[in-house]
Structure 1
């Protein structure tokens, strides 16, 4: 598979995926979205990969948005198809059975902010900036911004940010819950890799089931969510990892997890 706009590499148990269009501030066009989808095929079928670090090439941007050059002449039907394409791939990223950490060096605007929100965890550099500026272009957010932003920061704040098209710096993004952690730019990728490796050292089946329980539980009432939690909790006891983790604890020795 030839990749023009997305880079993919493996380091032990983690995958590093880089949106690689620095001259366009890593803007997402259809070709880039489809390449990301193809890479998710590879990662999804690789049992050696436990976690993903997703970032953007260069120091200026994670992803500065969807590609306006491609979008500006779309018809209503073409615009809808473009939104469906992005949402399908972002939803796939959100639900993949690996933990996804966004490492955000600079601008995460529009589609870039939406891409970061489809990840499980967001680590930002001190220079990162976030926003949904679409209304200033005469459009709505189209890759999940109207849905994920309220879930992360609350309805009122999300409406303010979307309606004003205001750009927020990393510190404010952290304060409102959009970002998990802020680090110096020069430490960004190392910090993301360190967290990914820490996650990869835990029980992979338990991580996978925990992610599924959180994602599903956020979309339903608390009683249904707790029933689902009980189901996945019980499922853990059918895994080798549960036996190994608890036996190692009782025997006071290091644990060795397998991906099962």
Structure 2
């Protein structure tokens, strides 16, 4: 029996791959539960997370069959909004590898990632109003922060979809590559993150998302923690030694 979420683990990163090709990777309750379990592990052992789809589709949305049967109390449980917010708050960066359709809940999963890499086949947006509901799993507030109010309203209130070129133009996608290069591009981004000091990355992400009123105190506290780390001392010493060596070579 195939699992709807494939997990590929390495020492410093994890790939979470939606695997419901028969449903265009629609996000159902089982996928949500498996994503929660994966998040719990990433919270215990922080690593970069790459989130991908399969068979040329990221995620065509939440599972409409399940959504149709949900009622008031289901909405108040925040089934999808809870898992997407948990993904947003993971300690290390998340990278969405977006191919093909990323609609509704699939788009909101992509919005929850820190970075999004797409392919020319991307179709991204929120058609929920056409189904008699709203994009309640983060798009109504997160999308405005990502692309600005006018475009966010256009996507949410008219159901218009962005193609890859448009999404790249507004930086909703950080990069566009060919489909057969998507996984490698994600690994390349993870490599770049892995070259940084892990604790510095974790704290920078946390400080970035802190409420405005927490600054500048939270910046100073985080910096105080980093100033005491051996990693900071080793990296700065190596930098100074490289610079000194470079100066000697010029002489």
Report what 2:51 is aligned to: 54
Q: Deviations over 1:85-137 (max 9, x none)?
A: 21221111111111110001111110011001111100001111100100000
Report what 1:141 is aligned to: 135
Report what 1:228 is aligned to: 218
Report what 1:207 is aligned to: 201
The 3-state SS of whatever aligns with 1:23 is: helix
Q: Report the Cα offset of residue 55 of structure 1.
A: 0.3
Structure 1 range deviating more: 141-150 or 2-11? 2-11
Report what 1:240 is aligned to: 230
Report what 2:66 is aligned to: 70
Q: 1:205–1:239: 8 Å Cα contact kept in structure 2?
A: no
Q: 1:123–1:179: 8 Å Cα contact kept in structure 2?
A: yes
The 3-state SS of whatever aligns with 1:63 is: coil
Residues 1:129 and 2:131 aligned together: no
Structure 1 range deviating more: 172-181 or 244-253? 244-253
- Return the match for 2:176 from 178, 182, 186: 182
Report what 1:30 is aligned to: 29
* Aligned mates of 2:93, 2:75 — CA distance in 1: 30
Structure whose CA Rg is larger: 2
CA RMSD of aligned residues (A): 1.7
Q: 1:3–1:35: 8 Å Cα contact kept in structure 2?
A: no
The 3-state SS of whatever aligns with 1:9 is: strand
Q: Report the Cα offset of residue 247 of structure 1.
A: 1.3
The 3-state SS of whatever aligns with 1:17 is: strand
Q: Report the Cα offset of residue 213 of structure 1.
A: 1.0
Q: Deviations over 1:167-198 (max 9, x none)?
A: 11011011122111111111011000111011
The 3-state SS of whatever aligns with 1:72 is: helix
TM-score (norm 1): 0.89
Q: Deviations over 1:34-86 (max 9, x none)?
A: 11100111222225xx3111101111x111100001111222222332xx121
Report what 2:99 is aligned to: 105
TM-score (norm 2): 0.92
Q: Report the Cα offset of residue 207 of structure 1.
A: 0.3
Q: Report the Cα offset of residue 220 of structure 1.
A: 2.2
Q: Report the Cα offset of residue 11 of structure 1.
A: 3.0
Q: 1:134–1:141: 8 Å Cα contact kept in structure 2?
A: yes
* Aligned mates of 1:77, 1:27 — CA distance in 2: 21
Runs of 4+ in structure 1 off by over 3 angstroms are: none
Q: Report the Cα offset of residue 4 of structure 1.
A: 2.3
Q: Which runs of 5+ in 1 are unaligned?
A: 254-260
Q: Which runs of 5+ in 2 are unaligned?
A: 244-251
The 3-state SS of whatever aligns with 1:54 is: strand
User: Between Structure 1 and Structure 2, how many residues are aligned?
Assistant: 243
Q: Report the Cα offset of residue 3 of structure 1.
A: 7.7
